């Protein structure tokens, strides 16, 4: 299968890349497509990790949190203590 580029901007970009890399036009396009594919796969991978993380929180963590603490907003001082910055005497 052949690829015929008829977009002047795309042709100019390919020319710029090949001038800098010494690659053929085919190799420049192949490398660009590989990078794009990898970014798209990584993005899907991140989404999958986020979904697994939320599932873990829903199944394992949140059920163990006392009901009166769910959704409670910490004060600045409480955040500092939890992070080890504040006075533990609170």
Within-domain flag for 70: no
pLDDT digits (tens, 9 = 90+) for 6-28: 899 999 999 999 999 999 999 99
pLDDT digits (tens, 9 = 90+) for 71-82: 899 999 999 998
Do 25 and 14 form a contact (C-beta atoms < 8 A)? yes
Residue 1 confidence (pLDDT): 66
Within-domain flag for 37: yes
Residue 3 confidence (pLDDT): 78
pLDDT digits (tens, 9 = 90+) for 34-65: 999 888 877 666 677 788 889 999 999 999 99
Q: Of all helices (H) and strands (E), which one includes residue 11?
A: helix 8-21
Residue 38 confidence (pLDDT): 84
Within-domain flag for 45: yes
Do 10 and 16 form a contact (C-beta atoms < 8 A)? no
Do 90 and 77 form a contact (C-beta atoms < 8 A)? yes
CA distance 1 to 50: 38
Within-domain flag for 51: yes
Within-domain flag for 15: yes
Question: Domain tally for the chain?
Answer: 1
What is the extent of the structural domain holding 17? 8-65
């Amino acid at each position: 299968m052949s690829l015929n580029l008829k977009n002047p901007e795309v042709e100019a970009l390919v020319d710029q890349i090949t001038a800098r890399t010494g690659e053929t036009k085919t190799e420049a396009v192949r490398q660009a497509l590989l990078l794009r594919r990898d970014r798209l796969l990584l993005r899907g991978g991140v989404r999958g990790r986020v979904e697994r993380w939320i599932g873990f929180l829903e199944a394992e963590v949140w059920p163990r949190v006392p009901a009166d603490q769910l959704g409670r907003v910490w004060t600045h001082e409480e955040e500092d203590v939890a992070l080890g910055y504040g006075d533990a005497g609170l």
